[in-house]
Structure 1
Amino acid sequence: MGKLYEKLTDRLREFISAQPVYFVATAPSQGGHVNVSPKGYADTFTVIDDLTVAYLDLDGSGVETISHLRDNGRITVMFCAFQGPPNIVRLYGTGRVVTPADESFAELLPRFGPHPGVRSIIVVNCERIADSCGFAVPFMAFEEDRSMLDEWAGRKDVQQKRAYRAKNNRESIDGLAGLSAEETDPVTQHS
């Protein structure tokens, strides 16, 4: 059954890197909506060290994760095996939002594959690393990543991306602050 780990072992890193989808969960401090977001593109997730991971935050319709992290920092990232032996790995921790204006952004960006709609990088310091059986998770076959998000972002010019983010990413559905006005400027370089 389940096991706790002091760090991200080689076996856990291998498992994580083999999953084509992962899930991110956050919640505001005071009531509000719990958010769970599926994330695709395996090249948007990286293990930085034994207790630190990061993922590329791409343009989206909402800004819940960014808002919640700025509110309280709490985050859980979950990976499920849909092929092979059953397994679920959860990384519980504290996350921070790294925007293009942050000094560490340029250092982190090359760790990811090329994507045109980069908003930020989410860095997670893991405080609890656990796996569980995953016996009820179904077998599913991975065919390929959907290209729609990258295609959508690739069709937008700088002004269109700025306008989209200003309209959709300034605050969460619960009214928490999301991207500030200066953070809505699109990244000028690809990941």
Structure 2
Amino acid sequence: MAKQFDAISDDHRGFIETQHMFFCGSAAADGRVNISPKGMDSLRIIGPNRIIWRNLTGSGNETAGHLARLNRMTLMWCGFETRPMIMRAYGTAKTLHPRDSGFKEAETHFPPTLGARQFYDMTVEMLQTSCGYAVPFFDYAGERDVLAKWNEDKGQTGIETYWDTRNRTTIDGMPTYIVKDTPNA
């Protein structure tokens, strides 16, 4: 049976912090719904109703484009290894690009890394837990180093060029505001 909560408790926090990955769901009023798997030590619980997560450079930039049009987000964790639970955080979020106030403060919660494209600052309005009885067991084998090597090979200038050429719009053509010539620059 699903249970809803108006804040992240210590027990919820403990479950989230033991997960090696989470999923982010976002959608604008039109276009495609996006669900992305995330990992690489990229999420922090800042308070009982606040989560920030670091979005590293990747092939798509759907979440930024969706939030620019409709600032709702869902995060989901699944207990793959031990505890059979599914947890979802529902709320609103704002995108913080490297040029935005708040980006530098968000960076202080994470170890330095090349390729941080955005941070998402989420206000959690509701947390829901449900059984994860049908979620299979998976063993964690470790982090992949492919993205870190890709970022190192590109360097900061190459990454910014990639943002400009590959991350300016969503697959539905919505602007992501990753480059400086945007309204919030």
- TM > 0.5 between the two? yes
Task: Name which of 119, 142, 145 aligns with 1:144.
Answer: 142
**Which residue does the alignment assign to 1:8?**
8
Q: Kindly report the root-mean-square deviation, in angstroms, between the aligned alpha carbons of the 2 structures.
A: 1.4
Q: Deviation per CA, 1:144-189: give whole Å up to 9, x if none.
A: 01111111111112332122111111001111111343289xxxxx
CA contact (8 A) 2:71 2:92 kept: yes
Q: Which runs of 4+ in 1 moved over 6 A?
A: none
**Which residue does the alignment assign to 2:36?**
37
CA contact (8 A) 1:90 1:130 kept: yes
Per-residue deviation at 1:36? 0.4
Identity of aligned residues (%): 35
**Which residue does the alignment assign to 1:161?**
159
CA contact (8 A) 1:44 1:113 kept: no
Aligned length: 182
Counterpart-to-counterpart distance in 1, 2:167 and 2:35: 17
Per-residue deviation at 1:19? 0.2
Q: Deviation per CA, 1:79-106: give whole Å up to 9, x if none.
A: 0000112001100110110112222111
* Structure 1: unaligned runs, 5 residues or longer: 185-191
**Aligned residue type for 2:77:** F
TM-score by length of 2: 0.94
* Structure 2: unaligned runs, 5 residues or longer: none
Within-5 A mapping of 1:121-140 = 121-140=119-138
**Aligned residue type for 2:33:** V
**Aligned residue type for 1:28:** A
TM-score by length of 1: 0.91
**Aligned residue type for 2:9:** T
